[in-house]
Amino acid sequence: MTAQSHKFDGLQKELQNLLKKDLAGFADPGMSVTVEEAEQNWVRAEWVIRGERRSASFQLGGSADLRDVVVRVESSTDISYRSFLAGTEMANLRRLSTNIVNLARDGSSYVAPNAVLENSLDEDLQEISADALVRQISKNDDGRTNVVFLTAQAGVGKTSLLQHVVHTVATDYRSGQAEALWLYVDAQGRRLAKLDDAISGELGKLRAQFSFDAVASLVRVGCIVLVVDGFDELLGIQGSYDESFSSLASFLDELQSSGCVVAAARSAYYEQEFVGRVNSAIGFRTDGWVVNRVRLQLWNADQLDLYVEKRAEEEGLSPAQVSDVKAKISTAFASDSVSHLRGMPFFVSRVTDVILKGSTLSSGTDLLEQLVNSYVSREAEEKLRDAGHSYLTPAQLREVFSEIAEEMWRQDTRELSRTSLREVLEVWLDVAGLPSEAQLAIVDRGPYSALLQSADKGAVKFEHDVYYSYFLAGPIVELTRKGDPLPLRQALRRSNLPVEAANMAGARLRTHATDRLTVLMTACERQDASTEQVRQNAGTVAAGIMRAHDGAFEGVEIRLLRFVDCDLSKVTLRESTLRDCIFTGSDLQNFRLMNCLGERLSFERVGVDPSTTLLDVSRVPVNDFRALRLIDDASDITVYDPRRVSEILAECGLPEAQVPIPLRPVNVEIVDLLEKLSWLFSKTNYFTEQDGTADVRRVVQHAHWRTTRNAMIDAEVLSWSKRQTSGNKKFLRVHVPPNDLMAGQDSQATVVPVVRTLWDSLESLFPEETSR
């Protein structure tokens, strides 16, 4: 047997095993799948599905990709493998698309925001309609799993956008205008959120003809685009074992460098968290992926007007009434303190709701507070009452909603079963001492209260996460004000506290801010399995307090806190000490440390703007900073090069950065080339030199690319990988994270041996005086 024929036989066996695994995902539980060789390159498979025995023949050619396989079902016409899996006898995606359309909410008033694709160092960010952009880039990438990250803060409309696109795609799929069906999965706030559980729940709701076991196959061959809302819920806390992330990594591993997943998260921090974690996940290091980041923009004035006009049309308003509604909306957003909310669909839609119901909102006061007051007062005064009086005051109803939010957080979920809701209400009502008649009425009304809505399987959730965060902030404030760190720690050890809840709690705790910070830090002192979770939640609340505090903090000690994805802008610490704190992915624009002392601090991918960031903190070496995000009005670029990081920190006033770090004498053009390569590898772990994107061209067209590439291969930092793609392209795979790659430029840094070997080689090949 020749080497070529041996290779072909191995490929055939690999395809047969994959085929058998795919069919097993559709087969009835406990029923085996058989795959036997037939004539020439054909194999015949048999399986049992929904109690009926099925068979088909598959022509396996020279490709290792089942998407290239021809399928013949009995005497029917040959079809593609993707059409076979999507067909009525297997996944029946046409029927599933009908169910998706039938279950969709009314979206007649929906207005898509604009979005930008943040994928290149050079290309200008062009805003286009978000629904069009997400569909445009959510395609199978050649040789890599395409992970599209959709980022926006709460209230900008991630969920609404995804649900709108999923409905639109399903409609197009039914008419043959879409090649792949989008499957929406809500992972937001699910207890022990695991991807397989979330997908299984969605398939059950849609009455799908297949189970979770078949989903990876359908995504891999391009039949389905998986849409995961609340992707950040699956990432957990870095450094801890997490079933949620394990389920995610296992699923992506099954895609075998194919397919597309759309992931919605609160910020770009979670994109880099994902990149860092998949690179270190057991069983996932060999698979190819590429990340495309889409950032949603706020509504512009035209989009806001269009939304109001659509709502007015639904209500049958006259032109004069429409003008009146628009004027009242303008008044609600007129104050400088709330004008930034004018472009957020959540606030615009809720303000519109209130105005259309005949209420008015004043300018210059807390807009969210007004919205909550409006809903709570109407519920208490119009719904929870008998003929003579209300059962609850608005203040009491607020307490009830806070109890519901805290129980959700306690259970690590954003949904409560009706049984749990009843128990929460009964306990609170019993303590309140309300008459039995009132208790019965309130319990019966509970699932239908304002600000709540039905969820899956009869459960109840808040109508929007902003309301959940608003009411969850109450218990955090109460526990912090009591000053006892033990019960506060018990609360903070639960799940990740939403940053919105932490910010709202911080605003209410801004008086006596130093005392509140002391309680939070004391709650972090105990060392146990939950320490990292406690410190992260405490750090998020502390960041909210510091931002809301009027004026600078002087002579304080900040210790033991983890500031993860926190906004620390407009925070000033003067003559203070920071000890044993971690800053990861946090925004340090307008963050000012003045004559401060730091001990055992860590900064990773923090955002700075040298024109507004002041880091006058002594005893903090430059190598405590692992990459920087350089932010200004026009860009947000990650910098890995230690030389450039040191220069930026010097501009920010870091004392230790005023003394140049000891750098290897490597030509600056080569260092810049590696910096560009590092940025590229923050978006993907594989690339091909034939890729036509600007970022790849910038690397491979460099005069010294080939020599540098070969040095990286010799050092085992890079390796060639032959992947089954169109044209059988050769890919380059990186084996070290961008941070570690560039850290080797610092001659005193502790780096892995392959990185040290690479920089030793670069010193010899491209000494500092070498010109291009």
Return the domain boundaries, the chain: 3-86, 93-296, 299-365, 668-765
Closest listed residue to residue 546, CA positions, set 576, 523, 584, 524: 576
- The pLDDT of residue 192 is 45
User: 668-765: same fold as 93-296?
Assistant: no
pLDDT at 239 over 50: no
- The pLDDT of residue 6 is 44
Mean of the pLDDT values across residues 729-738? Answer: 86
Digit-coded pLDDT (tens) for 385-424: 776 778 888 999 999 999 999 999 988 888 899 999 999 9
Quick one: pLDDT band at residue 428, thresholds 50, 70, 90?
very high
Quick one: pLDDT band at residue 724, thresholds 50, 70, 90?
low
- Whole-number mean pLDDT of the chain? 88
**Residue 155 and residue 189: Cα distance in Å, rounded?**
16
- The pLDDT of residue 241 is 43
- The pLDDT of residue 121 is 58
Digit-coded pLDDT (tens) for 41-89: 889 999 999 999 999 999 887 666 777 788 888 767 889 999 999 999 9
> Which amino acid, one-letter code, is at 12?
Q
Crossing angle between the packed helical segments 705-714 and 753-765, to the nearest 10 degrees: 140
The half-sphere exposure of 749 on its side-chain side, counting CA atoms within 13 A, is 28
Which range has the worst mean pLDDT, 12-16, 32-36, 132-136, 518-522?
Answer: 12-16
- The pLDDT of residue 480 is 97
- The pLDDT of residue 282 is 41
Quick one: pLDDT band at residue 596, thresholds 50, 70, 90?
very high
pLDDT at 723 over 70: no
Residues 468-496, buried b or exposed e (16+ Cβ, 10 A)?
bbbbbbbbbbbbbbeeebeebbebbbbbb
Kind and range of the H or E run holding 381: none
In the structure encoding, which two tokens stand for residue 106, read together? 């009314």
**Residue 464 and residue 401: Cα distance in Å, rounded?**
13
Task: Give the CA distances from residue 421 to residues 369, 383, 434, 614, in Å, rounded to whole numbers and listed in that order.
Answer: 24, 18, 18, 48
Task: Give the CA distances from residue 600 to residues 239, 322, 531, 553, 625, in Å, rounded to whole numbers and listed in that order.
Answer: 18, 59, 17, 21, 12
Mean of the pLDDT values across residues 237-252? Answer: 66
Which range of 12-16, 451-455, 511-515, 658-662 scores highest in mean pLDDT? It is 511-515
Partners of residue 102 on adjacent β-strands: none
- The pLDDT of residue 60 is 82
Quick one: pLDDT band at residue 129, thresholds 50, 70, 90?
very high
Which range has the worst mean pLDDT, 361-375, 471-485, 543-557, 667-681?
Answer: 361-375
* Contact criterion met (CB below 8 Å) for 533 and 513: no
- The pLDDT of residue 21 is 93
Mean of the pLDDT values across residues 730-735? Answer: 88
Quick one: pLDDT band at residue 609, thresholds 50, 70, 90?
very high
> Which amino acid, one-letter code, is at 260?
C
Cβ atoms within 10 Å, residue 739: 17
Quick one: pLDDT band at residue 7, thresholds 50, 70, 90?
very low
- The pLDDT of residue 240 is 44
pLDDT at 758 over 70: yes
Which range has the worst mean pLDDT, 257-261, 372-376, 680-684, 690-694?
Answer: 690-694
Annotate 109-135 with DSSP letters as a single string: T----EEEE---SSS----EEHHHHHH
pLDDT at 694 over 70: yes
- Residue % of the chain over a pLDDT of 70: 92
- The pLDDT of residue 218 is 96
Q: Which segments of 175-242 does DSSP mark as H helices, in order?
A: 195-205, 215-220
- The pLDDT of residue 8 is 46
In the structure encoding, which two tokens stand for residue 390, read together? 């209300």
Which residues fall within 8 angstroms of residue 397, CB to CB, at 6 or more apart? 376, 379, 380, 384
Strands of 155-219 (E only): list them: 181-186
Which CATH architecture best describes the domain 668-765? Orthogonal Bundle (1.10)
- Domain 3-86 of CATH type 3.10.450: yes
Mean of the pLDDT values across residues 190-218? Answer: 86
Mean of the pLDDT values across residues 482-510? Answer: 93
- Domain 93-296 of CATH type 3.40.50: yes
* Residue position matching structure tokens 């025995």: 53
